[in-house]
Amino acid sequence: MLNLALVLFGANVFRASVETGTNAITVGGYTMVTGQIVTFVVALSLAVLLHLFMHRTYLGRALRAVAQHRYAAMLMGINVNTVYIVAFGLGTAFVGVAAGLLAPQYPVFPTVGTYFVLTAFVIVVLGGMGSLYGAVAGSMIIGVIDTMAGYYIAPDLKEVVYFGIFLLILVVRPNGLFGFGTE
């Protein structure tokens, strides 16, 4: 699949040149990139909207029911195939928003998603499978660790640091920070 993508699109690295996403502002001695601030605000807003959708709508409750027990949800009259299509569509929409927000900040090439997929995996498992609050907390923890390790240790070793901390937390708490299940 990767080879097909390279043949069709090439292996060239591109950058989206958008001035609004790469400007820096200084607040109280701290310098922040506007694109990262916008990305954070949009991600937090989408997390709140997803929470409201999952807890206040019939379709959101159906998604949670199918995730919890597919056959029980089917017995309750939920169309499982429709729920799978909606879940896939929601996931695709979120990835599209993330790609649009991150493209001005990072170079774009066929395998750019590999870094983000590994980081997302660590965030979801660290926070606890099935916990939206855990995913938000895990993303904050990994974000702080990533930034601090990149600044104080070495930018090339920041992944090693948060993978190590991730493994230590899983040894102590195998279900993640907010995970459910038997311990």
Q: Please list the ranges in the chain whose pLDDT falls under 50.
A: 182-183
Instruction: State the Cα–Cα distance between residues 93 and 97, nearest whole angstrom.
Output: 6
CB 42 within 8 A of CB 101: yes
Whether the model clears a pTM of 0.85, i.e. scores above it, the answer is no
The size of the chain, in residues, is 183
* The pLDDT of residue 75: 93
* The pLDDT of residue 20: 66
* The pLDDT of residue 1: 56
* The pLDDT of residue 183: 43
Backbone angles phi, psi at 174, to 5 degrees: -60, -25
* The pLDDT of residue 70: 92
